Structure formats: C-alpha cells, structure tokens
Amino acid sequence: MIDLSATSLLAKLQSGEVSSEEVTAAFLDRINAVESRVGAFLKVNSESAMQAAQAVDKKRRSGAPLGKLAGIPIAVKDILCTEGEATTCGSRMLEHYVPPYNATVVEHLLASDAIVIGRTNMDEFAMGSSTENSAYKPTSNPWDLERIPGGSSGGAAACLAAAMAPLSIGTDTGGSIRQPAALCGVVGLKPTYGRVSRFGLVAFASSLDQVGPMATTVEDTALLLETIAGHDRRDSTSAKIDVPQYTASVNSPLENLTIGVVPSHYQDGLDTEIESAVKEAIRVYESLGARIKEIEMPHAQYGIATYYFIAPFEASGNLARYDGAHYGYRTDQQTMLDELSEEANQTDGAGESPLVRMYRKSRSEGFGSEVQRRVMLGTYALSEGYYDAYYLKALKVRRLIRADYDSAFDQVDCILGPVTASPAFRRGEKTNDPLAMYLEDLYTVNANLAGVAGISLPCGLTSENLPIGLHLQAAPFQEEKLLKVANMYQSATDWHTRRPEIQ
Amino acid sequence: MSLSKEDVQRVSLLARLKLSDDELTTMTEQLGQIVSYIDKLSELDTEGVKPMAHALDLTNALVDDEPHESLPREKALQNAPRSDDECFRVPAVLGE
C-alpha cells in the first residue's frame, strides 16, 4: 500500500477498498521501520494522525462531502505555522515556538481532509542545500544513507523516497524543493511566485520564497498544487488568478510542444552521467513529437551571485524579528547581566546597554552558523556605502535574468535542463565551504529570481545508484502546461517508479 | 572588495550578533570569499536597466477595510520569553 501514489490511494479510499485508518497505519508502520535510519521527520503525529484518519472515515461513511485529499497522509515541512504545534524551522531560535495561527497552506490541507502525518526536517530557516544546517539532526538520503538528501526541504524529499508519506509540502527560495527532489528521486514543483499563499510561512527571502508540492508522480503533484494554490487576502503578493483544475488536464499531452535547451548548461562542471541522462530525456521528448530548440540565457551565469546579494538582504531584514523579546530564544538574563557588569569593571563604565547585549547574545546563541553568515552578508551589503553598488546592481541583473526568460518563452513552451551539477554528495563534504554549497543552486536559482515555475522529476540513476533530476521550467502561471509536459515524460518512462532499498 | 576583521566586527553590531574572536576570524575569511565571488556582477554593464525588486508587477495591493478580530493579547504574549499580563518584559533600557 505504501508504494501506491496518492491518486491510486484516493481511488481505493473512494471505492471503500481501504480505509484512511488502514492507509495511515501503513505509513506510520513504515515510519517506525525506517525513520531511525533516514531521519526525515522532526515530529511524527502518530496519535493525532490516527484520530484524524478515523474522523475522515466516519465522515465518508456518513456521506458528508469530503475534501480533495480526504484520508491521504501528508508530511509538512517544519516551516509552516500550525496552530498549537511547535514550528521550529529547524532552528534552536524557535525550539519552543507554538504559533497562535495556521499558515494558509495548512488550512487548505486541513480543509481538504488530508492527514498531517508529521513535520519534516530542514536546513535552519531554509538556508542550505543539504539539511545539514538543521539545528536538530541530519537527514539521510534513502538511496545512500551516508549522503545528504539535498535541502532545504531534505526531510520533505527523503520521506517520499523512503515511502513514509505519499505527499509532502516543501518550500523553495533558490532551489529548496527541486534540488532535494532531484537528489532523492521524487517530484517537486516550485510554483510561480504568487501562485501559493505565503501567509504563515516563516519568511526567509520574501520576494523569492514559494511553497510547493512534492510527490512521487506528476499526477499527485498536480493534485497537491490544486489543493494549496490560490489568492489569499492575507498575502498581498498572492496573485488574483484563478487556479486551473490541474488534475483534469495533467493526463492530456501538450500539442505542438516546443522545448528549449540551453547549450551553456552542458559546460564544465556538469557530471557526465547527469548530462547523458538529461540528453536521453531530450530524445524521449523528441520521440513524443516535441520540437527541440536551442536558446540562449546569457545572464544565467550571474544567477548565484545575484541571489547571494538579494536573498541575504531580505533575510537580514526578515530575521531581525528574532530579538529575544517577543518570541523565540532568549539568552539567560542573569549570566548576561553578570557579564556586562564584569566588562564595566574592566572598562570603567561605558559598555553596551543590557537590551542590545540581550539581542546580540540571544541571536548568536539561537542562530546556527549559516544563518549568522547570511544575516552578516545581508547587513554588510545593505550597510552605508554599499547599497547602490550591491543592492541596486543585483536588482538590475535580476531584471536581465527575467528578460532572458521572457524572450525564451516567446519561442518555447518549456526550458529543459539538469537540476543539479552532481548527484547527492556525502555528509560533511561541503560543510566547511559555504561557497561550494551555494553553487548547488546553480541551475535552480534563476527561476526564483525571475519568478517563473519549475519542476524536478526523476530521469535516471547514476552508476552508483543515485537519482538524477530533470528540470523543466515554464512561464509565470503556466503550471498547467508544465505539469502536462512533465507527465508526458512520466507516461513514456519508469524512472519515477524506482525506489531505494534502505540499507 | 576586501573585508577586514574590523569591518566584520562593525557589521556584527549592526546585525545584533555577538561573535567570539575565533568566529570573527572565520566569518571574515568566509564573507571575503563570498563577496569576491558575488562581485562578479560588477563586470556586467547595467546602465539604464530598471531594478527589479519583485517578480510580480504589483503596486498598491490593497484589501477592503473591513474590521475584524485581532490576535488576542494572551495569544500574542503566549510565546514571549518573559511577560507580565500585559506587556513583553525586557532588561532595563536606561539602567536600573
């Protein structure tokens, strides 16, 4: 049962062949069996999930109307506020934070009668590409437990690959859905900026963050996107654009499909096995009748540099709210005051005010090193004298990157390429080299800067049996097209059916 | 663009972070590497390009002014590290 897609499980639930209680129990059993080796979850809702499943079964028996995901277990990344449940964002800063409200996406899931089976591990404040920046624990890649699952939605991807949940919610600021989906061999979609409400999503970089669906098939991805998308009056950046019935169209191939390929994607640095797998995917599309067109994205090479200006700028502002005063971690007050009076004795008075010291100590003790690095980077680049040189420059390059996309989408329906330059790396391999870690987002980050939609789907395995992801991108609000095109590939191939044997 | 340890120390105060001497050294080195990489943007001519702060061309996204319930005070205070029944409590700002 745990190998079935959400769509198949829904059919079985609707026909009465299985109950939600049975489905939920099967996934909880699987979690009991493998979670100690994978570490995808920060919290498993064993009891409340079973209660919710029983309630949905009862509702179904009574003939009451049911939501789109009635009785299907789903994992939620620990970055979406859930009323009454600790929402840690992978940080010590929010270890005991219990939100007084639900994120809009969480409300959509509850209204759809989905069963929230647990909260998944992530890089602290979604800053990272390996889930090693979680303040709580690392997550292993189910295909090779010595390797990272990608990040920041590493737990969200790993729980799908390990069949601990059929659906999962991730977030993507620079590649945080698509890169872990690629490295774990599952499907992950970053919607167009504005497609899904960000209300109740703990903010990292507000002009880049998007919540998105993760699943094992494109069809399930369509189903989950349909459930969570739409305008929300509480998020003024959510678009007032109707949500199509993605599930109604996802199985119809796109007529007259033109796919764009970017020659510079295949330059140095790209793993040769990934290159072969992606080129094989191009041949699959050709065999399905697609026209392949070479396009240029001349500013794509500036994506990482632009991103590492813009994201830290926005992060340094967003994370200013963690001040140890209103919520979150606060340093021990007595120790801090003692420290200050000792300093005052040594320096004849004039020291830092207790309030400023409280801020500084609370933040340095509550944030991990990557978060501090990005806050520092953003503060530095915004500090006096650098604003024009850095911030405005980056925003101008962002416009040029968007213009590359606009002209590409005048010519092609989708852009196809690799998601990552290499397969999952070993734990610890890049922890001391922040820049190398940043370059993990090379192929994904431009979609965030430009605000277009992107999806990662499995397209092969390396000789070491590690998953390879295929990246498809489409113009803003063209998720319907993107899902159709992605599903054409899955209908012709079986990479998405491969599952790891967890050692 | 090079960064000195003093620059990093100054920024750490602006960022309301407190770094130990060792952390300052590492941070200076790492920020220096990152800044010299991202300085790659300076090679691009962006004369006349309009800055893009946001992916959606939205201006003045206003909602109707409808009165609604606010977060009750006890809920707003429930996560405070220290509070009394009405306020967030912090260390004295101007001395005892």
Q: How far apart are CA A113 and CA A66, in angstroms?
A: 7
The answer to whether A226 and A243 have CB atoms below 8 angstroms apart is yes
Percent of chain A whose pLDDT exceeds 70 = 99
The answer to whether A119 and A77 have CB atoms below 8 angstroms apart is yes
Q: How far apart are CA A387 and CA A383, in angstroms?
A: 7
B24 Cα to chain A: minimum distance (Å): 11
Q: Is the pLDDT of residue A150 over 60?
A: yes
Range of the domain at B12: 5-42
Q: What mean pLDDT is predicted for residues A462-490?
A: 98
Q: Is the pLDDT of residue B96 over 50?
A: no
**Residues of chain B found within 8 Å of residue A324, distances taken between Cβ atoms:** 81
Q: Is the pLDDT of residue A384 over 90?
A: no
How many domains is chain B partitioned into structurally? 1
Q: Is the pLDDT of residue A169 over 70?
A: yes
Tell me whether residue B27 is in a domain.
Answer: yes
A413-434 confidence digits (pLDDT tens): 999 999 999 999 999 999 888 8
CATH number of the domain where residue B21 is located: 1.10.20
Q: Report residue A349's pLDDT band, with 50, 70 and 90 as the boundaries.
A: low
Mean pLDDT computed over every residue of chain A: 96
Q: How far apart are CA A99 and CA A253, in angstroms?
A: 43
pLDDT at B95: 55
pLDDT at A215: 98
pLDDT at A451: 96
Q: How far apart are CA A21 and CA A53, in angstroms?
A: 5
Q: Does B68 touch chain A (CB under 8 A)?
A: no
**Residues of chain B found within 8 Å of residue A450, distances taken between Cβ atoms:** 55
Tell me whether residue B49 is in a domain.
Answer: no
**Residues of chain B found within 8 Å of residue A330, distances taken between Cβ atoms:** 81-82
What would you measure as the largest C-alpha separation in chain A, in angstroms?
A: 80
- A210-215 and A187-190 strand pairing: antiparallel
- A187-190 and A453-461 strand pairing: antiparallel
Least confident window among A138-142, A476-480, B12-16, B89-93: B89-93
A376/B50 touch (CB, cutoff 8 Å), yes or no:
no
Name the pTM for this structure: 0.97
The helix-helix angle for A393-411 and A303-318 (nearest 10°) equals 120
The answer to whether A54 and A62 have CB atoms below 8 angstroms apart is no
DSSP code per residue over A70-128: TT-EEEEETTB-BTTB---TT-GGGTT---SS--HHHHHHHHTT-EEEEEE--SGGG--
Give the CA distances from residue A467 to residues A31, A130, A141, A263, in Å, rounded to whole numbers and listed in that order: 22, 15, 10, 23
Q: Is the pLDDT of residue A268 over 80?
A: no
Q: Report residue A382's pLDDT band, with 50, 70 and 90 as the boundaries.
A: confident
Q: Report residue B59's pLDDT band, with 50, 70 and 90 as the boundaries.
A: confident
Q: Is the pLDDT of residue A360 over 60?
A: yes
A434/B80 touch (CB, cutoff 8 Å), yes or no:
no
Tell me whether residue B51 is in a domain.
Answer: no
DSSP code per residue over A404-435: HHHHHHHH-SEEEEES-SSSPPBTTSSTT-HH
**Least CB–CB distance from A399: residue in B30, B51, B92:** B51
Name the closest residue on chain B to residue A315, using Cα atoms.
Answer: B15
**Least CB–CB distance from B17: residue in A305, A360, A383:** A360
Q: Is the pLDDT of residue A153 over 60?
A: yes
- A115-120 and A41-44 strand pairing: antiparallel
* Phi then psi dihedrals of residue A65, to 5 deg: -65, 140
A285-334 confidence digits (pLDDT tens): 999 999 999 999 999 999 999 999 999 999 999 999 999 999 999 999 99
Domain ranges of chain A: 6-249
Quick one: DSSP state of residue A319? G
pLDDT at A16: 96
Q: How far apart are CA A490 and CA A190, in angstroms?
A: 18
Task: Residue A164: name the closest of A47, A33, A20, A13 by CA.
Answer: A33
A178-193 confidence digits (pLDDT tens): 999 999 999 999 999 9
pLDDT at A431: 87
Q: Is the pLDDT of residue A492 over 90?
A: yes
pLDDT at B1: 56
Instruction: Please give the structure tokens belonging to residue A366.
Output: 């509550």
Q: How far apart are CA B54 and CA A381, in angstroms?
A: 18
Q: Is the pLDDT of residue A347 over 90?
A: no
Q: Which residues of A are catalytic?
A: 77, 152, 176
Q: How far apart are CA A426 and CA A100, in angstroms?
A: 39
CATH code, A6-249: 3.90.1300.10
pLDDT at A394: 95
As to burial, measured by CB atoms within 10 angstroms (0-12 exposed, 13-18 middle, 19+ buried), residue A277 is buried
pLDDT at A29: 98
Task: Residue A277: name the closest of A460, A135, A72 by CA.
Answer: A460
